[in-house]
Amino acid sequence: MKKILMILTILTGLFATGWLLAEEPAATPAVCGVAAEPAPAAINTGDTAWILMSTALVMMMTAPGLAMFYGGLVRRKNVLSTMMQSFFLLGLISVQWILWGYSLSFGPDIGHFIGSLKWFALSGVGSAPNPDYAGTIPHNLFMIYQMMFAVITPALITGAFAERIKFSTFAVFSLLWATLVYDPVCHWVWGTGGWLKTMGALDFAGGTVVHISSGISALVFALMIGKRKNYPARPVAPHNMVFTLLGAALLWFGWFGFNAGSALGANELAVTAFIATNTAAATAALVWLFLDWLVIGKPTALGGASGAVAGLVAVTPAAGFVTPMGALGIGILVALVCYLFVSVLKHKFGYDDSLDAFGVHGVGGTVGALATGLFATKMVNAAGNNGLFYGNASLLWTQAIGVIATMAYAAAVTFVLLKILDKVMGLRVKEEEELIGLDITQHKETAYTLVD
Amino acid sequence: MKLIIAIIQPHKLDEVMDELEKAEIHLKTVSNVLGCGRQKGVTEVYRGVKEAGNLIKKVKLEIAVNDKFVETTIKAISKAAKTGQTGDGKIFVLDLEECYRIRTGEKGSEAIG
Q: What is the pLDDT of residues B60-83, one digit of tens each?
A: 999 999 999 999 999 999 999 999
Residue of chain A whose alpha carbon sits nearest to that of B52: A235
Could you tell me if A408 and A333 lie in one domain? Answer: yes
Measured distance CA(A325)–CA(A162) in Å, rounded: 36
Query: What average pLDDT does chain B have?
Result: 92
Element of type H or E holding A31:
none
pLDDT score of A40: 56
How many domains are there within chain A?
A: 2
pLDDT digits (tens, 9 = 90+) for A193-202: 999 999 999 9
8 A C-beta contact, residue A171 and residue A158: no
Contact A302 B48 (CB under 8 A): no
The answer to whether A295 contacts chain B (CB < 8 Å) is yes
Q: Is pLDDT of A321 > 90?
A: yes
Q: What does the pLDDT average to over A222-234?
A: 92
Question: Taking a contact as any Cβ pair under 8 Å apart, which residues of chain A between 320 and 379 contact chain B?
Answer: 339, 342-344, 347, 356
Tens of pLDDT, residue by residue over A71-100, are 999 999 999 999 999 999 999 999 999 999
Chain B residue set in contact with A, beta carbons under 8 Å: 44-51, 54
- Residue A3: which pLDDT band, with cuts at 50, 70 and 90? low
Domain span holding position A18: 1-41
Stretch A355-372: mean pLDDT: 97
Residue contact B45–A300, C-beta within 8 A:
yes
Whether residue A245 sits in one domain with residue A145: yes
CB contacts of A339 in chain B (<8 Å) are: 48
A417 to chain B, closest Cα gap in Å: 31
A72 sits in which H/E element:
helix A67-73
Does A16 share its domain with A163? no
A303 contact B CB<8A = yes
Selected residue of A302, A351, A358, A363 to mutate for chain B interface (largest B Cβ count, 10 A): A302
Q: Which of A237, A238, A344 sits opposite B48 (nearest CB)?
A: A344
Q: 0.90 cut: is pTM over it?
A: no
Same domain (yes/no): A109, A6: no
> What pLDDT is recorded for position A11?
43
CATH number for the domain that contains residue B42 = 3.30.70.120
Range of the domain at B16: 2-111
Does residue A448 belong to any structural domain of this protein? no
Residue A316 sits in the same domain as residue A178: yes
Within this chain, do residues A33 and A87 fall inside the same structural domain, yes or no?
no
Instruction: Looking at the structure, tell me whether residues A33 and A110 fall in a common domain.
Output: no
Residue A57 has pLDDT above 70, yes or no: yes
CA A375 distance to own-chain centroid:
20
Q: Closest approach of chain B CAs to the CA of A73, in angstroms?
A: 10
Residue A436 has pLDDT above 90, yes or no: yes
The CATH number linked to A103 is 1.10.3430.10
- pLDDT the model gives residue A24: 37
Strand, helix or coil for residue A69: helix
Q: Would you say residue A28 has pLDDT above 50? A: no
**A266 vs A436: CA distance, rounded Å:** 50
Minimal Cα–Cα distance from B19 to chain A, Å? 30
- The answer, yes or no, to whether residue B54 has pLDDT greater than 60, is yes
Number of independent structural domains in chain B: 1
Q: What values do phi and psi take at A115, rounded to 5?
A: -80, 160
